[in-house]
Chain A
Amino acid sequence: GPLFFFLPQAGQMQLTQDLELFPDQSVTQLLFRDVKNCAELRKMLKVYLSLFPLLPKVVDLFQTLVAANKAVHLQKVGKMKTRSLYSEIIFSLSPTNNISEAFRRFGVSDSDSAVLVVLVHNKEDIFNKDDVTSKVDGQQIPADQISTLSDMAKIKKLYKVTPQEEKCGTVLDAAVLRMAAKEVV
């Protein structure tokens, strides 16, 4: 029954959400703080980004879900702009179409201490959390606590959120809209 899967629930360590448009696919997110080996992880991921992406500039788990959904969609229709699904997730977070800029701004840097890991997997697959936690030297905390760790000022700057815009919506709204609109601006 569904109890064996990771149901989205407040306070859970990792959150799993189905991708409705791709019924066999799910996304699981894990959050870490006090990460000490970002430099090492960065080197590792540079050569092998099919492992997982490290995302330090996220306001809300919905933002990364949107990026993951888009990456899976582009993979299915053969229109990815980067080499792997996980690099495509990083690229999807960016409000611009410049790939190297996207990695510079939305990828992890040596000095980051909090990162979100986003895994796309088959819904039925038993998800082995140790694959991630064994590599990240940091403290895992409930994924839905992401907003307590995110640098709002930096994120607003990355997405160029205007003060007027904050009157009609949140920073998350602004980020998601720019991610969806970047092909047409």
Chain B
Amino acid sequence: MAGMDGGSGGAVAPPSLPGAQLLKQGAEARVYRGRFLGKSTIVKERFPKRYRHPVLDEKLTKRRTAQEVRSILRCRKAGISAPVVYFVDYTTNCIFLEEITDSITIREHITSTQASGRSTETLYGLADRIGQILAKMHDEDVVHGDLTTSNMLLVGEEDGKPGKLVLIDFGLSYISALPEDKGVDMYVLEKAFLSTHPNTEALFQRLLKSYIAASKKAPAVIKKLDEVRLRGRKRSMVG
């Protein structure tokens, strides 16, 4: 069994898809692109981690695989775009997902906009749409758990024509109605957003404003977000 000496090394054979190409070797998962049943497909393979107890590790890995599938289903049922799941191999914890073709991550989009010298104000429309989608996701009680600008894809954005936003990477997601959990979700995004993209405070405020406008439940979430921010600051003053 490949699981025996786990590790993040090459213990697990890559999926036998023709032309499979490694896109990303992460800490938790390898992401491949290949063809599956004739379609462009992304394979996300969660591999065993040596430093965790094998039984606990297998449990966590299974749970993340299941959560990813569950939350994608919940989102799509609510009309929130996420990749279709084609197939799940629960014995190797591989998820076969629709490839969102011709997409770029929001991270790449913001970075290239800034690099080209355009004002971040040109991104306000995008910030509005991100705020709306996250509000909708939270209204469905899906807490993403790893909101970053790399975990949002943009398809078909052209000058003057807004593209479609697709949420991905739901492995750390869970279902919760608690404003606190949603507040932490937004806090994680804020931290990631501002540290990845310099000088985007106003842009992120725009995103939050749109989030608030889009959901009746948002004020309670923002209240928690403020509390979490304060806690974060106190902790960093002590540490």
Question: Are B17 and A184 in contact, CB atoms less than 8 angstroms apart?
Answer: no
The interface residues of chain A, by DSSP majority, are classed as helix
Q: CA separation between A21 and B16, bound complex, in Å?
A: 6
Question: For window 33-53 of chain B, which residues contact chain A by CB distance below 8 Å?
Answer: 34-39
Residues of A within 8 A of B17 (CB): 20-21
Shortest Cβ distance from residue A71 to the other chain B in the assembled complex, whole angstroms: 11
Q: CA separation between A183 and B63, bound complex, in Å?
A: 12
Of B34, B85, B89, B98, chain A has the most CB atoms within 10 Å of the CB of: B85
Question: For window 1-57 of chain B, which residues contact chain A by CB distance below 8 Å?
Answer: 15-18, 34-39
Question: Are A69 and B76 in contact, CB atoms less than 8 angstroms apart?
Answer: no
Residues of B within 8 A of A17 (CB): 37-38
The interface residues of chain B, by DSSP majority, are classed as mixed
How many B residues touch the partner, as a band? Answer: 20 to 34
Residues of B within 8 A of A69 (CB): 37, 87
Question: For window 72-88 of chain B, which residues contact chain A by CB distance below 8 Å?
Answer: 72-73, 76-81, 84-88
How many A residues touch the partner, as a band? Answer: 20 to 34
Q: CA separation between A107 and B143, bound complex, in Å?
A: 38
B119 within 8 A of A: no
Contact of B76 among A79, A174, A185 (CB under 8 A): A174
| Closest A residue by C-beta to B98 | A173
Question: Are A177 and B36 in contact, CB atoms less than 8 angstroms apart?
Answer: no
Question: Are B69 and A180 in contact, CB atoms less than 8 angstroms apart?
Answer: yes
Residues of A within 8 A of B98 (CB): 173
Write out, one digit per residue, whether chain A residues 153-164 have a CB within 8 A of any chain B CB (1) or not (0).
Answer: 000000000101
B70 within 8 A of A: yes
Shortest Cβ distance from residue B121 to the other chain A in the assembled complex, whole angstroms: 28
Question: Are B18 and A20 in contact, CB atoms less than 8 angstroms apart?
Answer: yes
Contact of A173 among B36, B76, B89 (CB under 8 A): B76
Q: List 29 A-B contacts (CB under 8 A).
A: A17-B38, A20-B17, A20-B36, A21-B16, A21-B36, A23-B16, A62-B38, A62-B39, A65-B38, A66-B37, A70-B87, A73-B87, A73-B89, A79-B91, A162-B78, A162-B79, A165-B76, A165-B79, A168-B81, A173-B76, A174-B76, A176-B84, A177-B73, A177-B85, A181-B72, A181-B88, A183-B88, A184-B69, A185-B73
* Interface, chain A (partner B; CB < 8 A): 8, 17, 19-21, 23, 62, 65-66, 69-70, 73, 77, 79, 162, 164-165, 167-169, 173-174, 176-178, 180-181, 183-185
